[in-house]
Structure 1
Amino acid sequence: MSAAASARQILTRLHEVMASRMHAQGKLDRVVEIIGESLDSEVCSIYLLREGMLELFATRGLNQSAVHVTRMAIGEGLTGTIAQNVETLNLAEAKAHPDFQYRPETGEDKFHSFAGVPIVYRERAVGALNVQHVEPRRYEDIEIEALQTTAMVLSELIANAGLIDEEEAGSLSEGLSGTQTVEGLTLVKGLAAGHAVFHQPRVEIVQVMAEDIEAERQRVYRAFDKMREQIDNMANQAEFGGGGEHEEVLETYKMFAYDEGWSRRINEAIDSGLTAEAAIERVQQRTRMRMREIDDPLLADRMHDLEDLANRLLRIVSGQLGTAATQGLRRDTILIAKNLGPAELLEYDRRKLKGVILEEGSLTAHVVIVARAMGVPVLGRARGIRGMVREGDEILLDADRATATMRPSGQVAEAFDTRFAKSREKQAAYAELRDVEPFTRCGTRIQVMMNAGLRDDMSSLAMTGADGVGLFRTEFQFLVSATMPQRERQTRLYRDVLEAAGDKPVIFRTVDIGGDKAVPYLREENAEFDENPAMGWRALRLALEREGLLKAQARSLLEASAGRPLYVMFPMVSEPWEFDAAKLVFVEQLEFLKKQKKLLPDAIYYGAMLEVPALAEVLDDLIPRLSFLSVGTNDLTQFLFAADRANPKLAERYDWLSHSILRFLRRICQATVGQDVDLGICGEMGGRRLEALALLGIGFRRFSITPAAVGPIKELIRKVDLKEISEAMNDWLLDPSISIRTELEAWARERGMDLD
């Protein structure tokens, strides 16, 4: 029997129960019998939330004496875990699960397999529907889908019967008071204050079972047409200019809107007897289950895009079209959402949108790319945020420190305002240095360049007064595209970037994808799995193997740089031959363009990123071939310490001001002395004032950092005497017993240097 037929059979029988004059308890008793019989299940049980506890309300197969006796807290046992996480469990052996708890009064000791789904009311779990078997086995998808469908009907039944404890179900969101702080993951840095606005009000599904299946199908068809029209209009009206990365994000989003597999699954749910709204919600529940099982962050982010579209479709089909964006923001706003699609973020008034807090979200999400370009701070992974805040609550968002404070007390708000005001004052002071060249006290000119990756980032060049772009990450265009970016599109991007830079240099790093920056259109061709993606098949290694990829990028960069100098940097060079091989691709493309009588770059400067420690041992061989060398501190540090920088437990364990990393970096500096090569530092280390001071002391004279760090580093440079800091660093590096961080902080404070 198909999933639709199985679910329809259950729904038909449940409809009869719901329409009967039987009392609520009798209906629940009949429901567990129907489900148990339909799924050939030896046990079927319903737990409902009462007085803060999950109470066994009805069962088939467990001891009847346990009904209204067995109770467990949210998060306790398997049933409590289902309710707490609002997730489905499917276990061949229940006792093997770490949250399993045995309740002797139920007589469940002989049952091994277990499956349970949450009963959800107004986005909160108010119970659980469980089945069990004696034989150990995982339940089939058809059985899980039938349970999920039944749970939706149960939600309606128990709500109409008054069995849902409304006060308890709403206690997490109603009557909130007092200051609360939530921690998360910084997705886009910044400080912001505003009032909470929920991205989209929850669509109330008032009818689950369909009276006319064909009529429900036509409602979904019309909703799909309207949603696709909306997405097409947004793609055409995007404000970031034609042909850029944001267009490619929206194209990926559009691809999901037209996905036939998605619409087919919704139709199958309607075939089972659900209304259009309930069918969309059922398919969305399945999507959420899959998202929890996906380890690949890129694929998970694309599942988030699909859920974003499902929410849009649900609002259209229900007629509840209003979102916070379409209704308009009336005051400074901190937007609250479970997740957010890039197209929806573009709908908001940027004058009022001050920040975004997501329950989910990741650094690789498409919405982060758009938010960064908009200059909107974003906090992700703020677990439970929607249950901690009410519409209109005041929120202080500190994405720099990865926290958000709801309903701040006067003292907390005052401290935040002071910090915010100080930040604005500093930014104003840094802005005044925009046209000031960064000379040290001893008269040495230090180059301060900025990192970029999007066309819109180039506006920061003039705003900060940076000397140029020391790192343009070309991979962003590849990461947000559903297919390999065409050469013409690459050329257009690079030309736009160079035109925005004017006469300032732009160092283009060739594509660094693969490993932890996986893209599906390349991964599908590569069957191998990287257990350590940061050290795997990525960057130059991938580009040299996929020669067509590097050839296309080489020609794009050469054509875009016609009449200008071109600076090309190869990432993750491990040995000199890799640099030679990559340069040869450019040389061959240059010869091809010459034969085509194309206008060529005025000059080409080739460089390498030193991220792999092995390269430091062969600099004497490599340096004569280079015009410039950039040390990538982010990857270099994790390779030196064998510590994954994405692992929260290791992120703060190894200090950039340790003797090991500073001695290593000083050796690199010393290897370039007297050589005709421009040495620079590239990465987060160079944008932190204390670390930048140490880098100046060991010999670095070119920095490429985030635009926000340009002003602070320029201000620091103007207070430094290089001879003085160099002597101090030499002394500290000779003595491994001291803390360089402690010594450097004291040294800087004595000279009036602000280290914040």
Structure 2
Amino acid sequence: MPASAATTAAREILVRLHDVMAARANAQAKLNQVVQIIGESLNSEVCSIYLLREGELELYATRGLKEEAVHVTKLALGEGLTGTIAEKIETLNLAEATSHPDFVHNPETGEELYHSFAGVPIVRAERAVGVLTVQHVDPRRYDDVEIEALQTVAMVLAELIAGAGLVDEANVAGSQTRDSSTARLTGLKLVEGMAAGRAVFHQPRVVVEHTVAEDTEAERHRVYSAFDKMRDQIDRMMSQADFGAAGEHQDILATYKMFAYDEGWRTRINAAIDSGLTAEAAIERVQQRTRMRMREIDDPLLADRMHDLEDLSNRLLRIVSGQLGTAAQLGLRQDTILIARNLGPAELLEYDRRRLKGVILQEGSLTSHVVIVARAMGVPVIGRVRDARRVIAEGDLVLLDATQGSAVARPTSGIEEVFDTQLSVTQKRRAEYAAMRDLPPITRDGQRITLMVNAGLRDDVAALDTTGADGIGLFRTEFEFLISAELPKREKQARVYRDVMEAAGPKPVTFRTIDVGGDKALPYMTGDNGDEENPAMGWRAIRLALERDALMKAQAWALVEAANGRELRVMFPMISEPWEFDEAKALFEEQRIRALARGRQGPLAIRYGAMLEVPALAETLDILLPKLDFLSIGTNDLTQFLFAADRANPKLAERYDWLSPAILRFIARVTRTSHEGGVPVAVCGEMGGRVLEAMALLGLGIDRLSITPAAIGPVKAMLRSLDLGALRTDLPLLLAHPPQNMRAALLDWASSHDVRIS
């Protein structure tokens, strides 16, 4: 069925459904007519409607299945194909229904005659209230345009079902009853910090009351007018946004604005209006399609762009409906913890920073646009708190500890008192660490340790001043690629790197070359890697960069150009064998020679390093070390590779301890070999930012750490209380005959030697 035919079919169905909805017949009679209309219009032998009643999906009306199965056939959520659609709120389109792992045969319906199956959820307020299905004798997949017609009809059905009082609100799929007891929630740490405030939902729901249009041209005019108002709002907001400094957040807002002016989005809404929907229903229809696509997207960066479109859809829907705006537009009246499924960067900017204390997102990721803007604003955030809007009620007191990735709603007085104490202690410690900024990181027995920070944004360089760190030991260059809508131009990359080096002043900056691929895919770069089962161990980092050498050549040119007259420090990630380092270095040297040939001064010198994250590299260090200026041990990936344990898997997250003898012995061997080869070795990773683990690393011979800015103060306080000579004498003895609990043994050692372990 061509797209134009699908639009015509959808319009005809909606016109006929409009007459059904306006009639005085009872709900059952209307649904019986609906399945006849849809089946006839799509030339489908079976059309059925299941409604969620008392927690089960009940067959409510059918054309083609046995009539005696109506109100008899019932499915639990997640049971069979229909139950799966309702539970996951997703569409299924199968040429052979029995081939799907969730297929369940219901003999009382007579459905064994039919091979093909397609079903769409009937959604109201983002929750499934039923399922609309069609079936065919012949095994074939339904065309995309036919599926879109079904999805459009399902929207209208949601209105009909709600108007007939058939929505079982108490048992809507995914609903959960709130109570008044204390609720603890955990999520992903996105922007660290602690805060307390009253819960406010970011977005009052805009309920689409009417779905079928009376006058298509009038609806189109309403949408065009709303687009103009929305774009004016965004232009005004961007012109007023003041962060005090340039940064990636500005690039993100520019990308957001690009979406607002995207004609393709407006065209899709226009097509939905052509099918017979009202302006509100057309926006909601396109938005539902976006949500369904988001559920299928594993790439977090592409998902973030879809979130931006979701944010814009919400804004457009509020304008066209004339209903209340976001909580930001209504104004915050007290200290607030904002609750949202997700936020666009522009929407966060609308909030009063004096009142907005923290944010809890049901979705979100470390590289999401709103997180980068929140970091610039200094607002703590946790994400992936799936039950946030169901567990937390508007007005609840919420205690947010984004440093731990947790929150407590409706705390008892005891919990609140403990939180206030922790917050006070944290503030005092922060003040104490700030006072240590200019004190050198020298151990009690006089040994100087190099403390550097990890960074990935231009704004992060400010941490050098606030912490007194010795430099940037790891600058993650991929963020510039991840937040861009297209491959960043060489000149833009060079400008970013130059800004970073100038902001760092005389302190060294080590640039890690681009580490993308795997779970950090670039939406504008396609590859032949497919869906990787183990992305962390797949086509990523130096492997991708050497194969797609145009990407790395552009970055090398930009770094060489940016370091004009300065020393350039470059580090290659995920080196597994020495030849990978050789090829990467040769590529950089080629760009340096090109710069000199064009009369550019180029870097005063280029210092080349490698990251040891793949255990195999330890076996060829004798070959690699003579070629290196420095070595960095990346403990995050190293740990999961050494233990064959995915660090993103919650079942394994706490199973393998960084203070395991296996890790400590491995790092000790690498450190000893590197020092014997005359190559300085550092640790850059989360392990070095934990105080007890940092103490152990120093005991193994590590004298350079690159850690998060927040960890500089606690680690410096620890090492200034440490007798490093004593630790380096005792730790090898512990590793020779390791105790059952190495962590407890190290804590005992620290306690007996008055080492400050916070």
Both proteins in one fold, TM over 0.5: yes
- Residue 440 of structure 1: CA displacement? 1.0
For residues 281 and 669 of structure 1, the distance between their equivalents in structure 2, rounded to whole angstroms, comes to: 58
How far apart, CA to CA, are the structure 1 residues paired with 2:256 and 2:136?
42
Q: CA deviation at 1:207?
A: 1.2
Correspondence list, 1:67-78, <5 A: 67-75=70-78, 77-78=80-81
Deviation digits for residues 219-259 of structure 1 (CA, Å, limit 9, x no counterpart): 22222333334444445554357874223323333333333
**Which of 178, 184, 190 is the equivalent residue of 1:187?**
190
Any gaps of 5 or more consecutive residues in structure 1? none
Q: Unpaired runs of 5+ in structure 2? A: none
Shift of 1:63: 4.1
Deviation string, structure 1 residues 513-540 (Cα, Å, up to 9, x no partner): 233322133325x576655433344333
Structure-1 separation of matches of 2:174 and 2:482 = 42
Among 746, 751, 754, the alignment partner of 2:753 is 751
Distance 1:754 1:98, change over 3 A: farther
SS in structure 2 opposite 1:521? coil
Q: Percent identity?
A: 66
Q: For 1:20 and 1:85, locate their aligned partners in 2 and report how far apart those are by CA, in whole Å.
A: 33
Residue 480 in structure 1 maps to residue 483 in structure 2:
yes
Conserved 8 A contact 2:87-2:174: no
CA distance in 1, matches of 2:329, 2:551: 41
**What corresponds to 1:124 in structure 2?**
127
Between the aligned partners of 1:695 and 1:111, the Cα distance in structure 2 is 65
d(CA) in 2 for partners of 1:483 and 1:35? 42
Deviation at 1:511, TM superposition (A): 2.1
Q: Which residue of 1 aligns with 2:743?
A: 741
Q: Which residue of 2 aligns with 1:46?
A: 49
> CA separation in 2, counterparts of 1:82 and 1:415?
44
Question: Equivalent of 1:522, from 513, 522, 525?
Answer: 525
Q: Do 1:240 and 1:456's aligned partners in 2 also have CA atoms closer than 8 Å?
A: no
Greater Cα shift, 94-103 or 704-713? 94-103
Contact preservation (8 Å) 2:512, 2:572: yes
For the 8 Å contact 2:129–2:173, the answer to whether it is kept is: no
Aligned to 1:442: 445
Distance 1:472 1:31, change over 3 A: same
Partner of 2:267: 264
Q: Matches of 1:409 and 1:101 in 2, distance apart?
A: 47
- TM-score norm. by structure 1 comes to 0.92
**What displacement does 1:53 show?**
4.6
The residue type paired with residue 625 of structure 2 is: I
Write out aligned runs for 1:267-666 (5 A).
Answer: 267-320=270-323, 322-523=325-526, 531-666=533-668
CA gap 1:244/1:432 in 2 versus in 1, 3 angstroms: closer
Alpha-carbon distance, 1:96 to partner: 5.4
Q: 1:486 to 1:321 in 2, by over 3 A?
A: farther
Which residue is equivalent to 1:722?
A: 724
Moved more, 310-319 or 257-266: 257-266
Residue 390 and residue 75 in structure 1: after superposition, are their counterparts in 2 closer, same or farther (change >3 A)?
A: farther
Report which stretch shifted further, 46-55 or 337-346: 46-55
The 3 A distance-change label for structure 1 pair 538 and 24 is: closer
**Cα distance in 1, alignment partners of residues 524 and 115 from structure 2:** 42
Aligned residue-pair number: 755
Question: What one-letter code is carried by the residue in structure 2 that aligns with 1:480?
Answer: I
- AA aligned to 1:659 is P
- Report the residue type matching 1:605 in the other structure: R
Structure-2 separation of matches of 1:587 and 1:95: 59
Give the Cα separation in 2 of the matches to 1:518 and 1:655. 29
Helix, strand or coil at the partner of 2:651:
helix
Over 3 Å counting, the alpha-carbon distance change for 1:648 and 1:51 in structure 2 is closer
1:262: how far off?
A: 2.5
Which letter maps to 2:622? Answer: D
Equivalence for 1:712 = 714
Q: Distance in 1 between matches of 2:102 and 2:525?
A: 39
1:507 Cα deviation after fit: 1.6
Partner of 2:156: 153
The 1:166–1:627 alpha-carbon spacing in structure 2 relative to 1, beyond 3 Å, is: closer
- In structure 2, relative to structure 1, the CA distance for the partners of 1:552 and 1:42 (3 Å cut) is closer
Secondary structure of 1:295 counterpart: coil
* Structure 1 residues 93-145: Cα deviation after superposition (integer angstroms, max 9, x where no partner): 55555555555655545555443333333333333333344555443323322
Partner of 2:86: 83
CA contact (8 A) 1:243 1:492 kept: no
Provide the rounded CA distance (Å) in 2 between the counterparts of 1:684 and 1:140.
49
SS of equivalent to 2:360: strand
**For each residue in 1:642-662, what CA deviation from the matched residue of structure 2 results, as whole angstroms up to 9, or x when unmatched?**
333333333333222222221
Are the aligned partners of 2:359 and 2:381 in contact in 1 as well (CA < 8 Å)? yes
Q: Could you tell me which residue of structure 2 aligns to residue 250 of structure 1? A: 253
For 2:263 and 2:753, how far apart are their aligned partners in 1? Answer: 66
CA–CA distance in 2 between the matches of 1:649 and 1:169? 30
Matches within 5 A, 1:108-119: 108=111, 110-119=113-122
The range that moved more, 654-663 or 231-240, is 231-240
- Secondary structure of 2:49 counterpart: strand
Equivalence for 1:690 = 692
Contact 1:631–1:681 (8 Å) recurs in 2: yes
| C-alpha distance in structure 1 between counterparts of 2:557 and 2:194, whole Å | 41
| Superimposed CA distance per residue, residues 2-26 of structure 1 (whole angstroms, 9 cap, x where no aligned partner) | 2211111111111111222223332
Shift of 1:583: 3.3
Structural RMSD (CA): 2.9
Contact 1:359-1:381 at 8 Å conserved across structures: yes
2: distance between equivalents of 1:86 and 1:532? 27
C-alpha contact 1:176 1:389 (8 A) present in aligned 2: no
1:167 Cα offset (Å): 6.2
Q: Distance in 2 between matches of 1:721 and 1:645?
A: 33
